[in-house]
Structure 1
Amino acid sequence: MPHSTASHISVSKIEPRAGSSFDFGAEIKGVDSESLTEADTAVIIKALYENQVILFKSQQNLSPKAQYELTRLFDPTATGYGHGKTFDAKRSILHPDLKTIPHQPQVQVIGNGPVTEFEGLENITLKHPHHRTFHKEAISDEDDRENTRFYRWHIDAALYDLEPPKVTSLLAVKVPKTEDMTCRYDDGTGNELRLSRGSTAFVSGYKMFDLLSEEDKEFARTTKVRYAPHPYIWMSTAHSRSNGLGLLSEDVELPVSQLPLIDKSKIKTLPMCWKNPVTSKLALQVHPSAIQALHLADGTIIDDLREVRDIVYRLQRPGIAPELVYAVDWEEGDMALFNNRGVLHTVTGSFLPEEVRIFRQCNMAASEGVLGPDE
């Protein structure tokens, strides 16, 4: 339990790399994550919602329990799992990426390569997501070591039954430092971005909203997004756009008859814009791969999947321009906390089977729904 005293935490903005103009992200220093005071907690929460991504260095000794408690500061009554138990493990696209720590089940292990023992897990093989398993067209094997893609821009959320987590924490336990890669958009724009292998890339939903025309802002403020039931099974046979921002429309999504039993009361219809609880700014916050329909202010429902995807893509695409991407260059001991209700993020990069990379991830289904524009 945090105790009251003055905080010695300092917060400094992340300096964008040359040619970039992203305006979010901060580094926090002076934190004893195992023994937070009430003042520390107040500084961390404020910093998170003002900067969206906060980076703590040298957290090698942070226990899974302390990581869980730090993540839970933002939602003290949340105890469950961010992606829940709602998916059929063998068919969900999330299944290969998540392994649970036995003694702290809210914390998962992700990464790459063979691991003999880690936090009670024995003889596991981690697999870094590669775009060839999800994109319609992949970078050639010959070019794969030099080039990469944004795997899937997303929000950490079950988007069925459970509320989207408020915050996710990522702790870099083991990071193989290799040469940088070029992240190619391959969407006809010629856009590309130089980043370190395995960078986690973030974009701001607030910037995404600010870039809209006044007409589109009004549309976004007044429109709701209906997500597919059991979305990660529903989309398991579909393919991503080459820049990772949503799916191609090929009529290959699984029909209702092939999904687990659907409880209509658990289908999520959420605002297109989510309000920041500290700054009151609006984020264009949509998981583009899981969308199924749009509910407009006048009562119109757009449920033609191709049209729905085209509308959302048009609104979101300016926000992933190379200069707006914050790509974390991970070092061992780095821990990032991010506002899961204000940013989108994605895996990048590829690793050889023998390259061992270990991260711990924690998020929990929220105890309350998202804040809409009028709340």
Structure 2
Amino acid sequence: MSAIQVTPLTPAEGSKVNFGAVVSNVDIENLTDADFEVIQENLYKNQVLVFPNQSHVTPKKQFELTQRFDPAGDSYGHGKTLDAKKSVLHPDLKTIPHQPQVQVIGSGFVPEYEGLKNVQLRHPHHRTFHASVIPDDEDLDYTRFYRWHIDAALYGLAPPIATTLLAVKVPKGRRQTCRYDDGTGDVLDVPLGTTAFVSGENMFDLLSTEDQEFVRTTRVEYAAHPYIWMSGAKSRSDGLGLLTEGRELSQDELPPIEQEKIQVLPMCWRNPVTGKLALQVHPSAVRRLHLADGTVIDDLAAVREKIHKLQRPAIAPEFVYAHDWKEGDFVLFHNRGLIHSVVGAFAPEEVRLFRQCNIAASRLPEGPAPVAAAA
């Protein structure tokens, strides 16, 4: 029997966040099989698990826990995307030499860490990706969601089941106001450098009956080499998808395309423990929609507008869990039940150092039964 204790997160006043839990009385460096069974079940039930005081966990054990959700998977979740100079992911991640499935992310200069030397980490800042930006003189007080996404290559490799994040070094004290800047007036008070999560299950539940039927029976086709394809495009101010301005790379500008690697996935993915459906779409990588009647929506602007309309209600401030990182926090999240975003803008002297791991799965996500039968 495992002695692990799992305590649901206590939502802040006014919050409607209904997921997440804190896990105590466990040492990730020395997990038993019974411990893992409890962790696995609770990940699917709670979507985000926070393990405090895990600074001692090695990259090897981080990888082993992440891989345990799909032992047949062994490659980093984004595959070779990091090697592509044009990829929007390229500047943001550094690979640990002795554990290549684990990445280092953060902000500021790090002289040495886990075999890496003289590393300049760059926290993704919205000014590099959004069509409009917050003025420089407001940068330390205000921020935005950088890019709402699923951790996934979405080309060739199946989306990872889980992602792990370990907070090694966390700047303290400052908070920021996250602005949506989309005409709604929505804002969210956030800790500096938070990771923001919203539930795909809640995203599905918030839809009308008509829209629920649409997402249950529609599949999303993702662009080939999506993170290279989107490299010239700019994001909406709420971080939820891209504007359509003709900035995407043409087929001739992309690496060679293997048609069998293009992914057409259900819009809804089924939770393997609860059976609930989550609306799981990476809004920046979408290219086409395949409807139940065989119609294909190919107009990129129309595709993006439809996806944004479906997803936007669930990123309203009251539904966002913005984790307040403490050094030693080890966070495990269900990558097939959530979307998440980097948030925040750091001063040059504020150093943030995190480790991230996700593993490409050996199988594609399960969709609703009618969609699976039609595939």
Q: Under TM normalisation by the shorter chain, which class is it?
A: over 0.9
Q: Distance in 2 between matches of 1:363 and 1:341?
A: 12
Q: Which residue of 2 aligns with 1:9?
A: 4
The reply to whether residue 311 of structure 1 matches residue 313 of structure 2 is no
Match of 2:347 among 341, 346, 352: 352
Q: Which residue of 2 aligns with 1:18?
A: 13
Q: Which residue of 2 aligns with 1:93?
A: 88
- What is the RMSD computed on CA atoms of the aligned residues? 0.8
Q: Distance in 2 between matches of 1:258 and 1:88?
A: 16
Q: Larger helix proportion, structure 1 or 2?
A: 2
Match of 2:365 among 366, 370, 374: 370
Q: Is the CA contact (8 Å cut-off) linking 1:87 and 1:230 kept in structure 2? A: no
Q: Which residue of 1 aligns with 2:290?
A: 295
Q: Distance in 2 between matches of 1:161 and 1:178?
A: 42
Structure 2 portions without partners, runs of 5+:
none
Q: Which residue of 2 aligns with 1:118?
A: 113
Q: Which residue of 2 aligns with 1:240?
A: 235
- SS of equivalent to 1:85: helix
Q: Distance in 2 between matches of 1:192 and 1:19?
A: 13
Q: Distance in 2 between matches of 1:65 and 1:96?
A: 24
Q: Distance in 1 between matches of 2:181 and 2:76?
A: 34
Q: Distance in 2 between matches of 1:322 and 1:237?
A: 29
Paired amino acid for 1:359:
F
Query: 1:353-373 CA distances to partner (integer Å, 9 max, x unpaired)?
Result: 232110000001001111111
Query: 1:23-61 CA distances to partner (integer Å, 9 max, x unpaired)?
Result: 000000011211211111110001100000000000010
- SS of equivalent to 2:237: coil
Q: Which residue of 2 aligns with 1:202?
A: 197
Match of 2:33 among 35, 38, 51: 38
Match of 1:66 among 41, 50, 61: 61
Seq. identity, %: 64
Q: Is the CA contact (8 Å cut-off) linking 1:148 and 1:349 kept in structure 2? A: yes
TM-score, length-scaled by structure 1? 0.98
Shift in Å at residue 180 of structure 1? Answer: 0.5
Q: Is the CA contact (8 Å cut-off) linking 1:83 and 1:365 kept in structure 2? A: yes
- SS of equivalent to 1:106: strand
Q: Distance in 1 between matches of 2:298 and 2:347?
A: 41
Q: Which residue of 2 aligns with 1:339?
A: 334
Q: Is the CA contact (8 Å cut-off) linking 1:87 and 1:233 kept in structure 2? A: no
Q: Is the CA contact (8 Å cut-off) linking 1:87 and 1:232 kept in structure 2? A: no
Paired amino acid for 1:112:
S
Match of 2:245 among 221, 233, 250: 250
Structure 1 portions without partners, runs of 5+:
1-5
Match of 2:275 among 271, 280, 298: 280
Q: Which residue of 2 aligns with 1:3?
A: none
Deviates most, 76-85 or 324-333:
76-85
Q: Which residue of 1 aligns with 2:52?
A: 57
Paired amino acid for 2:304:
R
Structure 1 runs of 4+ off > 4 angstroms?
none
Shift in Å at residue 89 of structure 1? Answer: 2.2
